[in-house]
């Protein structure tokens, strides 16, 4: 997957790490460790793939909160001298992707505010589908909004004076939210983790000595040598304080359809994470195995698009018996700083990141495996490179179905009109990509690869258009679109 948001001015900027489909965010929380800020930093570092635009950490020293957030990558923002100035045993952290064009510091998280009950810092992963309505109501009530992020909405809801206790006001606020959300929150003396009742996004709990850790993915626990305990349950509000852990279930009496985002397995989560009860890497191997059964090929080698297609390609190879081979060399030096100098040399762009290994490819019938085709341009140029390197045939296999629908639950797909599967027929796509054969995994195949929960508990809306929530009135949709375009 190539493609990348430019910085101001850097129109030719290409970054290795940019992903064309963007998760809204990654979260981490630490309770009760003297190096809370450092652990949050390391956790965020391992969740960097969930948001490359901005990063922030808020800590509590028991009396008040301190927050540092900025645009940029985790490692650039949190230098040792910055971490030193974030004292305390409680911390939350957040990484966030960038909306196109403008990178806005005001939307960086955590959001930290004073309100009648003290101070609170909030970070969010997901997308509320009733955000517009809630904002309108709050503004009518007199609220002001300094950002366009959902975290600010829940803070306003919690600040409403009607409730008597902090707990009550939290539950009341949560019950008004609709859509996909995980929150980590920090007050002077509490760490709180919240997951929406559908369970769209992952959030897990770990333990490191006496400290508790919350994280979007288990790879964050691994890095800091924390023990995985369990996932936060859909609809759970977990409060961690001096008295220990306490779980509240504000949606206990409501029937809510589980909707685990299957694209976390296909694309977003790191392969070394456990998400929704199973290994992401294993799921990806199975996706490749099923893909080989659904769409076999007569070929000499199976080649992954590195590194996104690695596991699926290996699975494909095992089932098909076609030898796995590395067909591209990845340049590890492409980072934020690489800029292609001139328009006339843009033709060189394709090979900057991946150079085909001619000796592996020449004269071969090649199966190339990737995890998804979004706009199609990158795939097309990979195929072209294989042909220039002498491939006799190119068979493309994709470890998920075609993307046709927007995600309202926290993934930033391109506009529908930019999705290749919405613009072309299967045959046209095949022709556009210039492949000898093309095979997408079926939705059934996709769901066959996940084993932890019943199939109907996964959200496949971006493939099927079957959304798990009401999407609100037109205003909400309009707001949602605008939020991405205009802010």
The 3-state DSSP class for residue 464 equals helix
Is 84 near its own copies (CB under 8 A)?
yes
The least distance separating its own copies from the CB of residue 458, rounded to whole angstroms, comes to 19
Contact positions with its own copies (CB under 8 A) in 328-357: 328-339, 341-342, 344-345, 347-348, 351-352, 355-357
Is 486 near its own copies (CB under 8 A)?
yes
Is 451 near its own copies (CB under 8 A)?
no
Site string for its own copies, 225-264 (x = CB under 8 A): x---------------------------------------
Contact positions with its own copies (CB under 8 A) in 273-312: 274, 279, 281-282, 307, 310-311
Name the segment binding its own copies (CB under 8 A); options: 199-207, 252-260, 323-331, 419-427: 323-331
Q: How far apart are CA 174 and CA 422, in angstroms?
A: 36
Structural tokens at position 257: 């359809």
Structural tokens at position 192: 């709180």
Structural tokens at position 137: 């109501």
Judge whether 25 counts as a catalytic residue.
Answer: yes
195 or 270: whose CB is closer to its own copies? 270
Residues 6+ apart with CB under 8 A from 381: 350
Is 45 near its own copies (CB under 8 A)?
yes
Contact 460, 261 (CB under 8 A): no
The least distance separating its own copies from the CB of residue 19, rounded to whole angstroms, comes to 11
**Considering only CA atoms, which of 268, 302, 323 is closest in space to residue 397?**
302
Site string for its own copies, 92-121 (x = CB under 8 A): --------------x----xxxxxx--x-x
Is 321 near its own copies (CB under 8 A)?
no
Helices (H), 295-343: 310-320
12 or 477: whose CB is closer to its own copies? 12
Is 478 near its own copies (CB under 8 A)?
no
Residue 423 main-chain phi, psi, to 5 deg: -110, -20
Is 425 near its own copies (CB under 8 A)?
no
Contact 369, 397 (CB under 8 A): yes
Contact positions with its own copies (CB under 8 A) in 375-394: none
The least distance separating its own copies from the CB of residue 44, rounded to whole angstroms, comes to 10
Site string for its own copies, 191-220 (x = CB under 8 A): ----------------------------x-
Q: How far apart are CA 163 and CA 144, in angstroms?
A: 20
Instruction: Tell me which of 71, 223, 256, 319 binds its own copies, using CB under 8 A.
Output: 223
The least distance separating its own copies from the CB of residue 192, rounded to whole angstroms, comes to 17
Residue 183 main-chain phi, psi, to 5 deg: -120, 140
The 3-state DSSP class for residue 124 equals strand
Name the segment binding its own copies (CB under 8 A); options: 229-237, 265-273, 402-410, 465-473: 265-273
Contact 169, 118 (CB under 8 A): no
Q: How far apart are CA 23 and CA 9, in angstroms?
A: 24
Q: How many CA atoms, within 13 angstroms, populate the side-chain half-sphere of residue 248?
A: 15
Rg (C-alpha) for the chain, rounded Å, is 23
Number of Cβ within a 10 Å radius of residue 164: 8
Instruction: Tell me which of 271, 384, 392, 404 binds its own copies, using CB under 8 A.
Output: 271
> Could you list the active site residues?
25
């Amino acid at each position: 997957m190539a493609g990348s948001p430019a910085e101001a001015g850097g129109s030719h900027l290409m970054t290795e790490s940019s992903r064309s489909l963007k998760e809204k965010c990654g979260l981490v929380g630490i309770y009760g460790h003297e190096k809370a800020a450092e652990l949050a930093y390391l956790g965020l570092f391992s969740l960097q793939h969930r948001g490359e635009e901005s990063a922030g950490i808020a800590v509590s020293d028991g009396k008040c909160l301190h927050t540092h957030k900025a645009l940029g990558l985790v490692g650039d923002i949190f230098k040792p001298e910055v971490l030193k100035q974030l004292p305390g045993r409680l911390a939350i952290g957040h990484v966030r992707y960038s909306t196109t064009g403008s990178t806005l510091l005001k939307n960086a998280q955590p959001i930290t505010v004073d309100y009648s009950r003290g101070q609170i810092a909030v970070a969010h992963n997901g997308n509320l589908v009733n955000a517009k309505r809630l904002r309108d109501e709050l503004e009518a009530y007199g609220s002001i909004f300094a950002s366009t992020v959902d975290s600010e909405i829940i803070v306003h809801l919690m600040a409403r004076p009607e409730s008597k206790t902090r707990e009550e006001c939290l539950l009341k606020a949560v019950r008004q939210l609709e859509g996909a959300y995980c929150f980590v929150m920090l007050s002077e003396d509490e760490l709180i983790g919240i997951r929406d009742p559908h369970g769209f996004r992952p959030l897990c709990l770990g333990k490191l000595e006496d400290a508790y850790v919350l994280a979007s993915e288990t790879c964050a626990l691994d890095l800091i040598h924390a023990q995985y305990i369990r996932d936060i349950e859909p609809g759970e509000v977990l409060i961690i304080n001096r008295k220990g852990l306490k779980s509240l279930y504000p949606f206990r009496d409501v029937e809510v359809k589980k909707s685990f985002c299957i694209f976390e397995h296909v694309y977003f989560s790191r392969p070394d994470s456990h998400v929704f009860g199973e290994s992401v890497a294993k799921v990806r191997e199975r996706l490749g195995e099923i893909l080989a059964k659904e769409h076999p090929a007569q070929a000499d080698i199976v080649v992954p698009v590195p590194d996104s297609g690695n596991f699926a390609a290996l699975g494909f190879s095992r089932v098909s018996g076609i030898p796995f081979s590395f067909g591209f060399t990845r340049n590890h030096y492409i980072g934020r700083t690489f800029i292609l100098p001139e328009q006339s040399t843009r033709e060189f762009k394709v090979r900057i990141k991946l150079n085909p290994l001619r000796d592996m490819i020449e004269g071969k019938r090649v199966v190339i495996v990737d995890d998804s085709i979004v706009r199609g341009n990158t795939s097309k140029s990979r195929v072209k490179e294989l042909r220039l390197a002498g491939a006799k045939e190119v068979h493309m296999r994709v470890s998920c179905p075609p993307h046709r629908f927007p995600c309202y639950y926290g993934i930033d797909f391109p506009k529908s009109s930019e999705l290749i599967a919405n613009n072309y027929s299967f045959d046209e796509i095949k022709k556009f990509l210039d492949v000898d054969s093309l095979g997408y995994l079926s939705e059934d195949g996709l769901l066959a690869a996940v084993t932890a929960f019943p199939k109907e508990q996964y959200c496949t809306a971006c493939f099927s258009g079957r959304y798990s929530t009401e999407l609100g009135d037109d205003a909400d949709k309009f707001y949602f679109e605008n939020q991405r375009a205009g802010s």
